[in-house]
Chains A and B, each alone.
Chain A
Amino acid sequence: MRDLSLHVLDLVQNSLAAQATEIEITIDEDLDRNLLTLCVRDNGRGMSKEQCAAALDPFYTTRTTRKVGLGLPLIKAAAERAGGQLQIQSQLGLGTTVTATFQHDHLDRAPIGDMSLTLMSIIALNEECQFTYRHRRGKREFAISSAELRQELEGLPLDHPQITAWLREYVREQEKSLEV
């Protein structure tokens, strides 16, 4: 995966596959502490301790019998390459929180990438799921939720091409204004 926005899209797929109905995405750029934290929390079916450990182990052998099982090992490698780590907290039946940390200014830290395209993809294509996104950078913050979009849209579908175009542009502008 080229950048963090693609990892986010991939982590959200895990949550959707675990039947989550609420998914919370947080990017926190703590510039004072030189720390970037990426977090995806869901209320899906969760994992046991054993499943958690197995999910992170790239040498987990039963994986070869499945199609692929690369998502979590990939983001773990991306975090560790940039002086950070990956943590999974999960409880069966309650949900899962995946947290990746990165040294913010590390040369090998992947760029955040295009969050407008990632958010458009998950919000437009998963009408039945509630998403919350929050991006903090220093003292600035941008947040958006599918609930507030739905409220404005009064039943108009989120995959309407005019809405997805608007959403991409809106998120792009908001993300950009965090930078200045």
Chain B
Amino acid sequence: MKSLEDLKKLRDSARQMMHLREGGDSVRIVIGMGTCGIAAGARETLAAVMQELERLHLYDVVVTQTGCAGFCDKEPLVDVILPGQPRVTYAKVDGERARRIIDEHVVNGRVIEQWVIER
């Protein structure tokens, strides 16, 4: 069984692997968590995002949420903001798309145009 005690150990190993956040140059990922986003699976999208970040050891990415953006039929929506670049919004992001977006856009800096929506 896991216990809160585990966090002490995790904390020390995890901290060593974070550098960028303090510098404010982090990549940001924003998940749409309005009612339609949640109904469309935003929570599972977030789970996939966190798992992919963990798999690739991307510990400096800041992940946050936002409410309904008014594109209810395009949910789940995910924004990717690379440092110094404009926000890119992806539509209908399921777990599979989330992983691809992280591999292509976050890691390689290549926007996956076919899933992007104008806003």
Residues of A within 8 A of B (CB): 1, 6, 9-10, 13, 16-17, 67-68, 70-71, 74, 117-118, 120-121, 124-127, 148-149, 152-154, 156-157, 159-166, 168-170, 173, 177
| From A118, A154, A164, contact of B50 by CB (8 A) | A164
Task: List residues of chain A with CB within 8 A of the CB of B46.
Answer: 120-121, 124-125
Known contacts A6-B43, A160-B14, A161-B58; A13/B34 CB under 8 A: yes
Task: List residues of chain A with CB within 8 A of the CB of B59.
Answer: 160-162
Task: Decide yes or no whether B119 CB sits under 8 A from chain A.
Answer: no
Known contacts A152-B7, A169-B2; A13/B70 CB under 8 A: no
Residues of B within 8 A of A (CB): 1-4, 6-8, 10-11, 13-15, 18, 21, 31, 33-36, 38-39, 43-44, 46-47, 50-51, 53-54, 58-59, 62-65, 67-68, 70, 72
Task: List residues of chain A with CB within 8 A of the CB of B21.
Answer: 157
- Is there an interface contact between A159 and B4, defined as CB atoms closer than 8 Å? no
Shortest B106–chain A CB gap in Å is 12
Shortest B49–chain A CB gap in Å is 9
- Is there an interface contact between B10 and A166, defined as CB atoms closer than 8 Å? yes
| From B18, B34, B43, B53, contact of A118 by CB (8 A) | B43
* Apart from A1-B39, A120-B50, A156-B18: 14 A-B pairs, beta carbons within 8 A: A6-B43, A10-B35, A13-B67, A16-B67, A67-B34, A68-B72, A121-B65, A152-B8, A153-B11, A159-B62, A161-B54, A162-B10, A163-B7, A170-B3
Which secondary structure dominates where chain B touches chain A?
helix
Task: List residues of chain B with CB within 8 A of the CB of A16.
Answer: 67
- Is there an interface contact between B2 and A173, defined as CB atoms closer than 8 Å? yes
